[in-house]
Amino acid sequence: MAHEVNVAKLLDDAKAYLASNPGLPFNNDRVNIQNIGYRLVEKQEKQYLGDKATQWAVDLKPRANHVDERISIKAPLTKPGAYLITAHMANGNVSRILIWVTDTVIVKKQLENQTYYYVADAGTGAPVPGASLDFFGWRHEQVKPNTNVYHIVTKKFSAVADKEGQLIVGVDRQPPQHPEGMQWLITAR
């Protein structure tokens, strides 16, 4: 069975948490997007779990002497997004995994005082002309030297790729990553 993951809500919640300047203790789980599978399964964060997308069955044949075997299963998912796949075995065993179905990729290359982005079709590598990119950056900043008081500085902006799916952003708009700069969450549409 596959349930959709509400990626838009996940991203919006992470950005809202950072923009709220939460202070210490900082809850890294709330901004760790790549850890959504753990959050759904172990932390029961059901607010990000959407509708059931599909369900399918696979007939598994056990090997002699209970020897393990690996098989590939093609999930019947075509709509881009994230999905929590839950497999129920006879006798009650349950396994879960998060999979992403992508139709678009962002390639990033650091240049001198600039960053180059290429937005492409994930299957063919062809450019996505006029793709809209949203940038959200954040960093922790110490309020007073030699104290444990920090606040979070955020910055956001949008830009549009050219007809070849390319965009170059200068450091004036997108400061570099750590230690002095920001961490960036970039999405393309």
The rounded Cα 78 to chain-centroid distance in angstroms is 18
Query: Mean pLDDT across the stretch 4-23?
Result: 91
**Residue holding tokens 């961490």?**
183
Tokens in use for 74? 């093609």
Q: How far apart are CA 107 and CA 116, in angstroms?
A: 8
Judge whether residue 129 has pLDDT over 90: yes
Domain assignments of the chain as residue spans, ordered by start:
2-101, 104-188
Beta bridge partners of 106: 119
| Residues 159/167, Cβ–Cβ less than 8 Å | yes
User: Measuring CA to CA, how many Å separate 85 from each of 60, 169, 181?
Assistant: 17, 37, 37
Q: How far apart are CA 102 and CA 120, in angstroms?
A: 11
- Check residue 179 and give its pLDDT: 54
Q: How far apart are CA 152 and CA 138, in angstroms?
A: 7
Q: What is the pLDDT of residues 132-172, one digit of tens each?
A: 999 999 888 888 788 777 888 899 999 999 999 999 999 88
In this prediction, residue 85 has a pLDDT band, given cuts at 50, 70 and 90, of very high
Percent of the chain with pLDDT strictly greater than 90 = 52
Query: Mean pLDDT across the stretch 88-103?
Result: 89
